[in-house]
A and B are shown apart, each in its own frame.
Chain A
Amino acid sequence: MSNVLVLVDHTDGTVRKTTAELLTIARRLGEPVAVFIGDGAQAALPALGQYGATKVIALTNPELSQYLVAPKAEALQQVAAKIEPSAILISSNAEGKEIAARLAVKLESGLITDAVDVQEGPVTTQSVFAGNYSVKSKITKGTAIITVKPNAATPEAAETSPEVEEFDVTISDAAKTAKITDSKPRAATGRPELTEAAIIVSGGRGTGGDFAPVEAFADSLGAAVGASRAAVDSGWYPHAYQVGQTGKTVSPQLYVAAGISGAIQHRAGMQTSKTIVAINKDNEAPIFELVDFGVVGDLHKVLPTATQEVTNRKS
């Protein structure tokens, strides 16, 4: 069986759920070989073995994280030259997409970004035009390079006992030209990660700037909090939580939109959610075209009462 290279997505060594999804997908296409950039490959072994990684290639060259993207692409090219994978799977985030873009040029290979499903072939599925169309594609040249969105697969365990293989890469001067001179970690909120959450409660301009009822309702459901661009642009909520075309694309089990009108660019980021609920005081708001359940009313009244009711039922 052919090798399928999976770039491990981790935060300071903690393997993210998307990696389990990538490994699960990789098993449909061949034998998953995980590539771990940075320190902590040894500690990550159980997490990677649980989802079927047959081998973990560790790249620890410090230059890989001192510069933006280019060295990582160069390193993956060198790994690919050695293990000759039939496909390369990378998480579809800003960095992942840029790594994939560079690899596509380097390896003269076809690239598909933002896959929401990948099946044998590989045949990918993408959701385009704000989720209004679904497109199935194939890669016709070289190594299939695919960036995969969160929640594209349900992680399925398949225990293996991989070992770490250190791999030496050489980074060219040409790849060391965009230097990261400072990095400020974002403060943790204690809530689930937006792109990975099963439930999201988002607030828009209709909150009038007060996100407390949105956060309280989210917490009663164990949900992540999102925001529309109007709320972000008004400075009411950080940009990292924006849902939509220029924010995050999410596809949770349940999406609750409070005080959000449902503009096409917002829909682009949430339309594929399994169940959609909206609270909006305007019964003609376009968001109601999408909902499974909608409440026409003032979110400042509905959310606090609903939060209380959820808390009562849960206790």
Chain B
Amino acid sequence: MSDAGKLRPTSDSDAPAPLEERFTAGDPAALREAFDRHGSVVYAIALRCLGAHHDAEDVAQQVFVRAWRGRATFDSRRGPLGAWLVGITRRQVSERLAGQLRDLRTADRAGHAAPPPDPAPVSEQVVDAVVVADELGRLSPQVRAVVRLAFFDDLTHQQIAAVTGLPLGTVKSHLRRGLDRLRRGWAG
């Protein structure tokens, strides 16, 4: 797209690069910042995959503990911190699911349980949907409001302009800008 460049958001809430540097350097405050910034994505993925709050909390804990202990190996050239944490989350969740399956099979062999389900892989769709939901929450309030009206209230851009009082051109550019940012959240 020849005009993709000019539509790229320049401000919004892009995480400042220094967090990743400070995290790798072992600045303890950076762990808290990473938890505040990415904790809900990690927790939400775990919760949607595992169902139980208790398991999701365990996974979130393990993800940040492992990330911190392995921070020397985080390489920002291979992707942002958030994506790295999501990768660790997927692995933790799939291990947890595999463990549950093993438990079920053991119980099954003992004759106590229904046949276990197949292990559910960590679904791409679950992960992507969480990432998109996270990005949606990070849009500037006006862009987010416009996008929400289009997504969840099924309004056309003309209706959105009428409802919000924003000029039609502004609505269209907000839609473009918001959607572009959400797309980059899951599609890179």
Q: Do A and B bind each other?
A: no
